[in-house]
A and B are shown apart, each in its own frame.
Chain A
Amino acid sequence: MSSPNEPRDPGAPDEQPGTGPGSPDSPSQPSGPDVPPYPAGTGPDTPAAPGYGQPPAYGQGQPPAYGQGQPPAYGQGQPPAYGQGQPPAYGQGQPPTYGEQPTYGQPAYGQAPGYGAPQSTARNSLGVWSLVLGILSIVLCCLVVGIVPGAIGVWLGFKGRSAAARGEASNGGMALAGIILGIVGILASLYMIISLSIGLAEYGGLDGFLQYVEDEVERQQLQAP
């Protein structure tokens, strides 16, 4: 690590695109959304490091990491850090970049447009589905039917909550509402089952209730004019 070279090398990335034979554009365009968030040293761009690494300070593997994480935030922070040559500013920006890498292990997330935003809407469908299934579990609360959408809604609601906690969804409240409504729907379905069972037991089971209904129908038909 020849860190003293870093501040003295501010012009190198800007001159490099014209002369570099390898992949010269990746370090100098931090705003490219297509740059996959490989951890430095493990991505497929690593073999190209000797290619554009004529300056020793440049080939340390930091420029690839520099081009990935949070393009808008880095693009704003870059000019003072580079122009003034302040190593603390450069060193402060990088640990969050590395620290966030493990949580975004899938390239699909790194390429999401809302990667640098605090809350993405990529997985908002979890919360919406949870809310919809929670409502439907109450609508369908007759007998066993409401338990199925209620259970799925609660499950998706918890997934939506965790997705919102990871910043992949912005509707954590909707997911919570889905969880609550799903639990209400499950309880309503269970109440229907239990109350019907108790009610049937008073008539001596299903056959007894059927007999009661038939007798009642006959009695009303006899009373009819």
Chain B
Amino acid sequence: MTDVRQPAAGAGHATASRVRRGALPLALAAAAAGAATLLVVRSPYTPLSYGFCPSVLFLGVSCPGCGGLRATHSLLTGDLAAAWQANPLWTVAAPLLVVAWGVWTVRRLRGRPPVSAPTWPAWLVLVVVVGFAVLRNVPALVPYLGPAPLP
């Protein structure tokens, strides 16, 4: 699992290793599909349908993930505006994550060597998420970045 650089020895061996390499991406996709199905069937817009955010309850602040379930539900049902009002960061990040999963899966299935990616995207993600966490708790920005109140 850790070594994805499997040389293709033969046709049968290559197919077997390809199945083995594709197990992890497929498992993640299955888990995500199950969660998505649950979110579509059981709407998070129903109050307390999935509990409540403990950071709001205990700390009184909205964490960067607050509204993520509602945003996912709205994205899956095609309501982009509602998703943006629930969690704008997740509305942008979720499609990017899907694209990243696709690239990772294709590279893994083809047995490509790991890329030597630059390090600045990771720091950018950290700055964006932490900055989003701070900004969405600024009272003046709550209507724009904070999770919209339940209807």
Contact = CB atoms under 8 A, between A and B. Distances in A.
A82 B102 CA distance: 53
Given A129-B122, A132-B122, A158-B2, A142 B54 contact: yes
Contacts of A180: none
A128 B117 CA distance: 11
* Residues of B contacting A: mostly: loop
Give the size category of B's interface with A: 20 to 34
Q: Most chain-A CB neighbours within 10 Å: which of B47, B122, B123?
A: B122
* Residues of A contacting B: mostly: helix
B53 interface: yes
A135 interface: yes
A142 B121 CA distance: 24
Contact of B5 (A106, A128, A139): A106
Give the size category of A's interface with B: 20 to 34
A192 B54 contact: yes
A139 B64 contact: yes
Interface string A113-133: 000000000111100110110
Interface of A: 105-106, 108-109, 112, 122-125, 128-129, 131-132, 135-136, 139-140, 142-143, 145, 158-159, 162, 192, 196, 200, 206, 209-210
Q: Which 7 residue pairs of A and B lie closest in terms of their CB atoms, listed nearest first?
A: A122-B116, A128-B122, A145-B65, A128-B119, A125-B117, A132-B126, A132-B122
16 contacts: A123-B116, A125-B119, A125-B122, A132-B125, A136-B126, A139-B129, A139-B130, A139-B133, A142-B66, A143-B53, A145-B65, A145-B68, A162-B2, A196-B51, A196-B54, A210-B47
